[in-house]
Structure 1
Amino acid sequence: MTDIVPPLEIIPISLGFVNAYLVKQEGIILIDTGIPGSALKIFDIMKENGINFQDLSLIILTHGHQDHAGSVSAIRERTTAPVLSHVNTAELLQKGVQGELQPCSMTGHLLKFFFSMKKHSAFPPFKPDILIDAPYNLSSYGISGMVIPTPGHAKGSVSVALDSGERFTGDLIFPKIPSGKPGFPFWADEPDKILSSIRTIADDNATVFYPGHGGPFMRKDVLELINHV
């Protein structure tokens, strides 16, 4: 007799130019939290989908930049769900700063000044509950999948890989301008690791990629990106 896998539901949350995601299975996780001030929008989406504060089992931060971690403190105040991040993200989170952006493209150089301004880079400081530096199983939170370190964009970047094939990649993959197709990030702390991280997450089981901006992307389009380097 085989175990029956509970149905999976993915609820994208558009927070202006950045995406957060709710993933429902036996448990419910939130992936990323948007800029400061995004908590009410996330709470509204939870309410629309019949999710109470106490239903949330885990909050995952793909990395510590303001547009992904900016509202984690406000959300954590209303829920008992622990917050997970990579150990290399913890110091920045506790200081409430995203650190210096390292451009790896012309677009990154052009936008660095704007996104390095204090109002676009600082956020309420927060101490995460769970720190990882290796793959982390989500089964105890009611989700069939893993959190996987995927350095490149930031030293503490992680992605979420569901057993059913969905991938949540934070800023490991950026939409190209103006096509919107999968591309490499504008900024990278460890640019030499981007390609290997994408290849890790674009394994044979991967089907669709949910990035922090734009998307979603199909596996064939991500493979086209990394196979033409």
Structure 2
Amino acid sequence: MSATTVTPLSMGNSNAYLLRGEQAVLVDTGGPEDGDRLRDALSAQGLQPRDIALVLLTHGHNDHSGTAASFADVGVPIAVGLGDEQLLRTGRIGTLPVSHPAGALLKPMVLRAKARPVEADILVEDGFDLSAYGVDAHAERFGGHTPGSLVVRAGDDTLVGDLVRGGVLRPRSPKRHFFTEDAAGVRRALMTELDRRPRRLLPGHGGPLDADETRQRLDKVAPVAAEVR
């Protein structure tokens, strides 16, 4: 199989990532308002939505799955981690425990957003080999941020969704996410992935993040006993 490249596609508030090998896989789709932006980003890569072999969602929150329905409309299969499928069916965020002081301020705005509902074609229970979709990459479900949160390993990069974020003012600085359902799960997932020694972590917001710096800041990014409310 040909080498797989990872191209970040900034949606403004969040990131999508394009994996390209023999085919193209899209990881996350931005928010409900990002349809035109995402189509333009794909067009700049010489692609149309129907050219995507698979849409893989790091989790079901609608700032990452917000335009997934438009890909389903043209026959692209949608994959999400087991436990997040109901988020796609409703198009709403759902449970949103605050894990960072700023999260309490952001929560009302985040809960108002709604995406067009979509049904997942594939539920990732544990590991998921993406070679059938033309890319040399592997996804694994850990939970943590949401029950279905997963990571994607592609070469020296690990796409981590919302397990960690880049800073608002310093996007390359690893920070604790504003919302987390299972803080222990987030820490376990990050420790597992950092032990694999990736070069970069590619988060759902901000980044890219240096893996070594994230490891050094792990107790702040994913504290052992994070306050979640």
Same fold (TM over 0.5): yes
Q: Among all aligned residue pairs of Structure 1 and Structure 2, give the percentage whose two residues are the same amino acid.
A: 28
Could you say what secondary structure the match of 1:88 adopts?
coil
* Aligned Cα root-mean-square deviation (Å): 1.7
Name structure 1 gaps, 5 residues minimum.
none
- What pairs up with 1:21-32 in 2 under 5 angstroms? 21-32=17-28
Q: Please state if 1:127 is matched with 2:119.
A: yes
The equivalent of 1:171 in structure 2 is 162
Give unpaired runs (5+ residues) of structure 2: 224-229
Amino acid at match of 2:179: W
Kindly report which structure 2 residues correspond to 1:170-189, keeping only aligned pairs within 5 A, or say none.
170-180=161-171, 181-189=173-181
Aligned length: 220
Cα distance per residue 1:29-83 (max 9 Å; x no partner) = 00111111322222222222122444311101111111101111023213x3211
Work out which of the residue numbers 77, 91, 106 in structure 2 matches 1:96. 91
Tell me the equivalent position of 1:215: 207
Matched-pair contact (CA < 8 Å) for 1:39–1:75: no
Runs of 4+ in 1 over 4 A off after TM superposition: none
Is 2:143–2:149's contact at 8 Å kept on the other side of the alignment?
A: yes
Change (3 A) 1:38 1:17: same
Return the alpha-carbon distance in structure 2 between the equivalents of residues 171 and 132 of structure 1: 17
Q: Hey, what does 1:11 align to over in structure 2?
A: 7
Question: How far, CA to CA, are the matches of 1:220 and 1:184 in structure 2?
Answer: 16
**Relative to structure 1, is the Cα distance of residues 52 and 170 closer, same or farther in structure 2, using a 3 angstrom cutoff?**
same
* Aligned counterpart in structure 2 of residue 159 of structure 1, from 151, 171, 179: 151
Matched, 1:113 2:108: yes
Instruction: Return 149-158 or 7-16, whichever deviates more.
Output: 7-16
| 3-state SS in 1 of match to 2:158 | strand
Q: Structure 1: how far apart are the matches of 2:183 and 2:4?
A: 33
Give the counterpart letter for 1:166 in structure 2: D
Separation (CA, whole Å) in 2 of partners of 1:216 and 1:206: 12
Deviations 1:72-105 (A, max 9, x none): 1023213x32110012001121122210210012
Aligned to 1:61: 57
Instruction: Give the TM-score of the pair, scaled to structure 2.
Output: 0.89
TM-score when normalising by structure 1: 0.89
Name the aligned partner's letter for residue 102 of structure 2.
T
In the TM superposition, residue 178 of structure 1 has moved relative to its aligned partner by: 4.1
Contact 2:165 2:206 in 1 (8 A): yes
